[in-house]
Amino acid sequence: MATDKKANRNDPADGNVEQIREILFGGQMRDYDRRFQDLEERLQRDLERFRQDQSKRLEALEQLIRDESESAAQVHKRLDAEQRKQATIQGEQLKSTESALRGELAELAGQLEDTARQLRERLLKLGQEQADGLQQQADDFGRHLASTANELREAKVAREELAGFFSELALRLKRDFELPGE
C-alpha cells in the first residue's frame, strides 16, 4: 500500500495535480495558515497581558491588606502603650480616669475591629468581584475564540468537495470524463 502511494507520487500526473493544487489553493492555504498563526499569537499576547494585569491587581490587593493590617496593629499598639503610660503616671489617684480611658479604648478597639471587619468584607467582596470579572472575561474570551474558529472553519473548502473537485479535474485532464450530452 505504501509503495503504491510512493509510485503514484512519482507519477508526472500527480506532480501536475500538486502544481494545480498549489496554483489554485496554495495562496489561500498559506493565507489561512498565516491568519491562524496571527490569531494564535495575538491570543497568546492578550492572555499573557491579561495574566500579568490580574497578577499585578492581586499583588496590589495583597499589599493593601498587609498595609491596613500593619496600620491597624500599630494603632492598637500605640493606643495600648498610651493607656499604660497614663495609668503609670497617674496611678491610684486617677482610677476613675483610667476606667474611662479603658472604656474609650474598648470602644476604639471595637470600632477598629468593626473597621477591620468591614475592610476585610470589602476586600473579600472586591476580590469576588475581581474573580467574577475575570471569569466573565475568560468566558467572553472563550466565546470569541470559538466564534472566530467557527468563522475560519466555515470559510474553508470542505475536504470531500476538494477531493471531488480534484478527481473531476484529473479525469478532465486525462479526457476520461464526459459530461452528459457530450
Which residues, other chains included, contact 68 with Cβ-Cβ below 8 Å and sequence gap of 6+?
116, 119
Q: How many CA atoms are closer than 13 Å to the CA of 36, on its beta-carbon side? A: 13
Per residue in 75-93, pLDDT tens? 989 988 888 888 787 777 7
Host domain of residue 135: 13-169
Which residues, other chains included, contact 35 with Cβ-Cβ below 8 Å and sequence gap of 6+?
152
Closest residue by Cα to residue 36 from 110, 145, 164 = 145
Neighbours of 121 (CB within 10 A): 10
Section 12-17 average pLDDT: 78
Widest Cα–Cα separation across the chain: 126
Per residue in 93-146, pLDDT tens? 767 777 777 888 888 888 889 998 998 999 999 889 988 988 998 898 889 888
Whole-angstrom distance, CA of residue 83 vs CA of residue 105: 8
The confidence score (pLDDT) of residue 181 equals: 55
Whether residue 2 is contained in a domain is answered as no
Per residue in 29-64, pLDDT tens? 888 889 999 999 999 999 999 999 999 999 998 999
Whether residue 179 is contained in a domain is answered as no
The confidence score (pLDDT) of residue 2 equals: 46
Whether residue 24 is contained in a domain is answered as yes
123's grid cell:
476586600
Whether residue 133 is contained in a domain is answered as yes
Whole-angstrom distance, CA of residue 44 vs CA of residue 27: 25
Whether residue 6 is contained in a domain is answered as no
Whether 9 shows a pLDDT value over 60: the answer reads no
Whether residue 178 is contained in a domain is answered as no
> Would you place residue 25 in the very low, low, confident or very high pLDDT band (cuts 50, 70, 90)?
confident
Whether residue 103 is contained in a domain is answered as yes
The confidence score (pLDDT) of residue 49 equals: 95
Neighbours of 108 (CB within 10 A): 15
Counted domains in the chain: 1
What angle, 0 to 180 degrees and rounded to 10, lies between the N-to-C axes of helices 27-90 and 95-155? Answer: 180
Q: How far apart, in Å, do the first and last CA atoms of the chain sit? A: 36
Whether residue 70 is contained in a domain is answered as yes
Least trusted range by pLDDT, from 20-34, 110-124, 145-159, 163-177:
145-159
